[in-house]
Amino acid sequence: MRVLIACEYSGIVRDAFAAKGHDALSCDLLPTEKPGKHYQGDIIDVLNDGWDLMIAHPPCTFLCSSGLHWNKKRPERAQMTLDALSFVRLLLDAPIPKIALENPIGAISTKIRKPDQTIQPYQFGHDASKATCLWLKNLPPLRPTQYVEPRIIDGKPRWGNQTDSGQNKLPPSKDRWKIRSETYQGIAEAMANQWGLE
């Protein structure tokens, strides 16, 4: 299959598909962090190049629930959310037979449509909690591959990336957004193993 990984600089999903023999290309405004087929530039430049499948990771900064509360305090952010939603629509409406778009819980669910599935890294072999929504076109929901049990703190489940109160352990830094946006390897492999056969 010809597979386009939109808005990916890490190469994680691209490499998972390439390892299965697919012709996979990542595309992002940033350079790739791993050697491999990568187009550094605007996704619009390659969106109509005859892909069989697209996995899209649009930036979540102005879409995710954790940031939407700032839109009332900083009105310029509200327009950025509208622009981000327009970009999501462009990706979902792309002339590609099979599409999966992922993003955290947020504005896509309320302004475009509910996700087809919500997954967690702990369903795919990672000791981590991070709810990720999937909007699917002509693809089945991902089947979990390996469940990781949580530790129980005060009767509540907590995974390795969480503090006892449930917050993410990752401290603030200039690269925090990049680290948090990377796709977990187990999820990337499930996408390649399951959707690569569709």
**Which CATH number goes with the domain that contains 7?**
3.40.50.150
Domain total of the chain? 1
Residue 179 to residue 160: CA distance in whole angstroms? 15
> What end-to-end distance do the CA atoms of the chain give, in Å?
10
Residue pLDDT tens, the chain, 198 long: 999 999 999 999 999 999 999 999 999 999 999 999 999 999 999 999 999 999 999 987 656 666 655 556 667 777 777 788 999 999 999 999 999 999 988 888 889 999 999 999 999 999 999 999 999 999 999 999 999 999 999 999 998 887 777 777 655 555 644 555 679 999 999 999 999 986
Domain that holds residue 25: 2-195
| CA dihedral angle for residue 91, residue 97, residue 98, residue 104, rounded to 10 degrees | 20
